[in-house]
Amino acid sequence: MTDIVNIKATSKNRAQMACHLEQEITELKQRKQLAEVKHKEMQSVIIEKNKENEHLQANLDLARNHLKQAQSLQSENEASIKAASQEITFQKEKLMEQFLYDKYLHNKMLEIKGNIRVFCRIRPILSIDVDHITSKLESDYIPSSIKSKRKMEELKSKASKGEHVVP
């Protein structure tokens, strides 16, 4: 009888184990279904993220192209700025040279003007010269009318006063 009791106990244990295993199998099937649903969701998310990644990669490539163009323009602008800066420096030097040359010419002009003034300076008529001028006027100038006589008298009076006389 012990064998029967043992067999019944073993059978009961196995039945409980079978029930327990069936519950585990059911639970695992539910977990599997949930995992499959999550797997499908994850696959759709992965597909979505791949599309988004492709879109972002395209935007990144476009941004890199824009960056290359901007860098190219920047280098061109820097070259233009450098050339313009050199041109400005050259023009400033040229302007300074021209300024110095203009200053030289101005000073030279003033010097020549001064020399001309000194060269052409006329001294005032002295009383000693009045007689000489009068005789010269009389000999060079022959009055032909009354007007001429008046002119001669005016010149003589100016010369005697020491005024500047132009024949």
Q: How many residues does the chain have?
A: 167
Does one domain contain both 88 and 130?
no
Domain boundary among 72, 94, 116: 94
Q: Output the pLDDT for position 138.
A: 58
Alpha-carbon dihedral sign for residues 40, 46, 49, 50: negative
- Which residues form the domain of 151? 125-167
The count of domains in the chain is 2
Q: Does residue 51 fall inside a structural domain?
A: yes
Does one domain contain both 12 and 83?
yes
Does one domain contain both 149 and 77?
no
- Structure tokens, 132: 């000489």
Q: Output the pLDDT for position 33.
A: 94
Q: Does residue 129 fall inside a structural domain?
A: yes
d(CA 112, CA 134): 35
d(CA 138, CA 155): 10
Q: Does residue 150 fall inside a structural domain?
A: yes
Q: Using CB atoms within 10 Å of the CB of residue 85, give its burial: 0 to 12 exposed, 13 to 18 middle, 19+ buried.
A: exposed
Does one domain contain both 12 and 89?
yes
Does one domain contain both 133 and 87?
no
Domain boundary among 94, 114, 136: 94
Q: Output the pLDDT for position 8.
A: 80
Whether the Cβ atoms of residue 116 and residue 126 lie closer than 8 Å to each other: no
Could you read off the pLDDT tens digit of each residue along the chain, which spans 167 residues?
677 888 888 888 888 888 998 999 999 999 999 999 999 999 999 999 999 999 999 999 999 999 999 999 999 999 999 999 999 999 999 999 999 999 999 998 888 877 666 565 566 767 676 666 666 665 555 545 555 666 667 777 776 766 655 55
Q: Does residue 133 fall inside a structural domain?
A: yes
